[in-house]
Amino acid sequence: MMRSISLAVAFALGTAAIANGIFMLVAPENWYFAVPGVTTTGPFNQHFLRGIGLIFLFIGAAFLLGVAKPDLRIFLWAAPSLWLAGHALFHFWEVAVGICSASVIPRDFPAVTLPAILGLSITMWAIAERRSTGSSAV
Per-residue DSSP letter, 41: G
- The count of structural domains within the chain is 1
Per-residue pLDDT, 134: 77
Task: Say if 11 falls within a structural domain.
Answer: yes
CA distance 51 to 6: 28
Percent of residues, the chain, with pLDDT higher than 90: 93
35, part of any domain: yes
Asked whether residue 138 is assigned to any structural domain, the reply reads: no
Domain of residue 77, residue span: 2-133
Other C-beta atoms lying within 10 Å of the C-beta of residue 35: 15
19 pLDDT above the threshold of 70: yes
CB 63 within 8 A of CB 76: yes
- Stated as kind and residue range, the H or E segment containing 76 is helix 73-96
Q: pLDDT tens digits, residue range 20-40?
A: 999 999 999 999 999 999 998
Is 98 inside a domain boundary? yes
* 75-94 pLDDT, tens digit each: 999 999 999 999 999 999 99
Rounded to two decimals, what is the model's pTM? 0.93
